[in-house]
Structure 1
Amino acid sequence: MNRTHIPGILAMAAIVVASNILVQFLFGQWLTWGAFTYPFAFLVTDVTTRVYGTVAARKVVFAGFVTGVICSLIGTQIMGEFGPLVTVRIAVGSGIAFLVAQMLDVSIFSALRGGRWWRAPLASTLVGSSLDTALFFSIAFSAQLIWLEPANDVAWANEALPLLGLGPAVPLWASLAAADWLVKLSLALAALLPFRLIVTRLTARRRPA
Structure 2
Amino acid sequence: MNTKYLPGILAMAGVVVASNILVQFLFGQWLTWGAFTYPLAFLVTDIMNRVYGVAAARRVVFIGFLVGIGCSLIGTQIVGEYGPLVTLRIAVGSGIAFLTAQLLDVAIFDRLRQGSWWQAPVLSSVIGSSVDTALFFTIAFSGTLAWIEPVNDVSWAGEMLPLLGLGPVAPLWVSLAVADWGVKLAIALVALIPFRIVTRKLMAQVA
Task: Please give the range of the TM-score, normalised by the shorter of the 2 chains.
Answer: over 0.9
Q: TM-score, normalised by structure 2?
A: 1.00
Residue 24 of structure 1 aligns to a residue whose secondary structure is coil
> Would you say 1:112 and 2:151 are equivalent positions?
no
**CA shift for structure 1 position 6:** 0.8
> Would you say 1:122 and 2:122 are equivalent positions?
yes
Show the 5 A alignment for 1:24-173: 24-173=24-173
Residue 107 of structure 1 aligns to a residue whose secondary structure is helix
**CA shift for structure 1 position 165:** 0.2
Moved over 6 A (4+): none
Residue 116 of structure 1 aligns to a residue whose secondary structure is coil
Q: Match of 2:164, as an amino acid?
A: L
Q: Match of 2:114, as an amino acid?
A: G
Residue 24 of structure 2 aligns to a residue whose secondary structure is coil
Summarize deviations over 1:57-116 as a string: whole Å, max 9, x none. 000000000000000000000000010000000000000000000000000000000000
Aligned residues: 207
Residue 144 of structure 2 aligns to a residue whose secondary structure is helix
State the distance in 1 between where 2:105 and 2:36 align. Answer: 19
State the distance in 2 between where 1:17 and 1:186 align. Answer: 22
State the distance in 2 between where 1:154 and 1:25 align. Answer: 18
Summarize deviations over 1:4-34 as a string: whole Å, max 9, x none. 1111000000000000000000000000000
**CA shift for structure 1 position 118:** 0.1
Summarize deviations over 1:109-131 as a string: whole Å, max 9, x none. 00000000000000000000000
State the distance in 2 between where 1:7 and 1:129 align. Answer: 23
Unmatched runs of 5 consecutive residues or more in structure 1: none
**CA shift for structure 1 position 151:** 0.2
Show the 5 A alignment for 1:179-194: 179-194=179-194
Question: CA RMSD, aligned part only?
Answer: 0.4
Unmatched runs of 5 consecutive residues or more in structure 2: none
Partner in structure 1 of residue 14 of structure 2: 14
State the distance in 2 between where 1:193 and 1:19 align. Answer: 21
State the distance in 2 between where 1:159 and 1:100 align. Answer: 28
State the distance in 2 between where 1:4 and 1:59 align. Answer: 12
Q: Percent identity?
A: 70
State the distance in 1 between where 2:73 and 2:144 align. Answer: 24
State the distance in 1 between where 2:206 and 2:51 align. Answer: 9
